[in-house]
Structure 1
């Protein structure tokens, strides 16, 4: 639902009831991920998309029905139809499970507060019950900035506590996901599944070396939504004017800056200096940190010399295995801009466990399938 937070915040502020349709599960290939929503208000205004157009009409009508009847949440499953390309179904071959529910802003004031936090850019998680006891389906609770919890309509007991703990963990990781709690002696007698929608702070991209490649990479990182920092010990090169797309430009020794800055499991560290006096102390520290990606620029000869120096500095084989060097995918890149694409492509592939192969040469679905209970369910288009 956070993909349409601006519109939903406006509707909540104006106390406008609406129907919210959310993708709560995906099987096979689908155009948009779990957590994506479309909403419809009483005037028939629709915001958002859940399938890129394949099933929007059917979902819109279901939203109108739920909004008119103020009925209990409804589930719908939309799958592929090869008999009629214009039938209700996904031509991409996947299947979506959609939860449609009526939202009254006055009945869920914490949702308005969470949406306000999202609009203002603060880290926020909203947990939405999508499976479990019927009276809890569609209920929500929010973990707001700073970790405080405003409860919705859960059981004000163990379910609240367990779901809130899972939401905090996903908020720290910056990841939207389904979680299941209860039914295993942890105080919640019946199992329930919540979809935790997460709006996290932007992941960081730390670029070391104020070179032309860094200017292009900082622009690419900015485009991908990273909070970009360029760091170099040479003040004549590390200037904001040279890196207009960077969020900050720091003049400091790279390893010293890395020692004093915050990183997390989503941080990408890109070392573009290919100068041993900068690279070795920096990489020694970077490879010891729980970051998502560490890459270093240089020729294969530079790479071999770098590995030898890192081994001499006490870096383990396990740590060296984390180093992406020479940095980037083999795209035949020549220019700084092409190299930036090569580097960011490798970061994306690594984050998503992609092969880096052309899709025309890879097998299987384009979007990696999410399998449930070890199998893919038969395709259907039915309202539960």
Structure 2
């Protein structure tokens, strides 16, 4: 949903009426992940999509209808001989799409504006989309320092409201969507919880031309990019217009003081032992999810010896992705940046990096089993559980 938040928030600010379509359920193969979204205004202007294009035309029409009626609707799409070339999924999966109106002055409009503002503040938050039940189409936002329960549908049982609030609070720093079901089979409320942790970081050490290309591609891919190089003549904001931050500091000092977590990728592109070894010594001992360094195999061997001399263990140096990037065969800065970013994505997602035509099975990873929590009406305490507790993803 991140990809539509900028235009959606702009439409809210303009008090433009529109509809939001969200992929809320998927079985077998699906071209998009849960939470994929599309917005359509009354003039038919579109941002985003909920599939690879096969059902988006039909969803577009449903969005226009939702703006007119002011009502939400949930539709299931699959494949059959009759629908394959109309509004069916050519991939063979089955998906559910929720379409809800976002009208001026409504709580849905406020939730979208608040969500975008929280993301700009790098504040982890979670959005609950009520997908089934009497409150279908409601958006519930959990953010730092705010009482999410005030946004929970008032029609919900107090125990359910409390459980939903607690679960969305826990989801703020998670990495995967969560399906929650509350109540009984007769009177159930289903919620798709979408986490919005802070954006992943890409820290680039060294202001070389490869860094310029990687900064541009990383920013376009949703990373918060930092370029670090003590040489101000090389590391300028004008040279790196896509970077969120350009730091003039010795890299090892910067890495020692900046927040680093599993969503951080660190790429050392300098080819200079004065920068490389001290920076890598800090990076490889940090919780960064990816650490890579540019250089030939001979450079790598020399660098490994220097790291060992600096006291790093074999286990620590084994974390280093060097020579950096996937073997795509490109040579230009842009092609090299693409190979580096591809490896970062592969490591983060657990992929193998091979050509899809040489693999078997579904193109897209199987949709994980939804984590669910069932809460009976009237329960007030002890009703919630940590997402995933006892339930597989």
Same fold (TM over 0.5): yes
CA drift at 1:251:
1.7
| Shift in alpha-carbon separation, 1:330–1:8, aligned structure 2, 3 A | closer
Structure 1 CA distance for aligned equivalents of residues 255 and 331 of structure 2: 29
Deviations 1:271-295 (A, max 9, x none): 1123333223222221222222111
- The count of corresponding residues between Structure 1 and Structure 2 is 361
Query: Which secondary structure state, in structure 2, belongs to the residue aligned with residue 319 of structure 1?
Result: helix
Matches within 5 A, 1:150-299: 150-153=150-153, 155=156, 157-173=158-174, 175=175, 177-180=177-180, 193-299=190-296
Structure 2 length-normalised TM: 0.77
- Secondary structure of the residue aligned to 1:219 is helix
Which SS does the other structure have where 2:344 is aligned? helix
CA distance in 2: counterparts of 1:81 and 1:153, whole angstroms: 37
Q: How far is the alpha carbon of 1:229 from its aligned partner?
A: 1.5
- Counterparts of residues 53-202 of structure 1 (less than 5 Å): 53-60=53-60, 62-63=62-63, 74-82=73-81, 85-101=84-100, 109=107, 111-120=108-117, 121-122=120-121, 123=123, 124-130=125-131, 134-144=133-143, 146=145, 148-149=147-148, 150-153=150-153, 155=156, 157-173=158-174, 175=175, 177-180=177-180, 193-202=190-199
What is the aligned partner in structure 2 of residue 26 from structure 1?
Answer: 26
What's 1:382 paired with? Answer: none
Distance 1:196 1:139 in 2: 12
Q: Structure 2: how far apart are the matches of 1:14 and 1:301?
A: 58
* Whole-Å separation in 2 of the counterparts to 1:373 and 1:197: 12
Q: Is the 8 A contact 2:111 2:139 kept in 1?
A: no
Structure 2 runs not aligned, ≥5 long: 372-393
Taking a change above 3 Å as real, the CA distance of residues 287 and 165 of structure 1, as seen in their structure-2 partners, is farther
For the 8 Å contact 2:294–2:322, the answer to whether it is kept is: yes
Q: TM-score scaled to structure 1, two decimals? A: 0.79
- CA RMSD in angstroms comes to 3.4
The verdict on how the C-alpha distance between 1:180 and 1:298 changes in structure 2, with shifts beyond 3 A counting, is same
Q: Matched residues in 2 for 1:96 and 1:244: separation?
A: 39
* 1:285-321 deviations in Å (ceiling 9; x for gaps): 2122222211111221222233333344443444333
Q: In the TM superposition, what is the alpha-carbon distance from 1:83 to its structure 2 partner?
A: 5.8
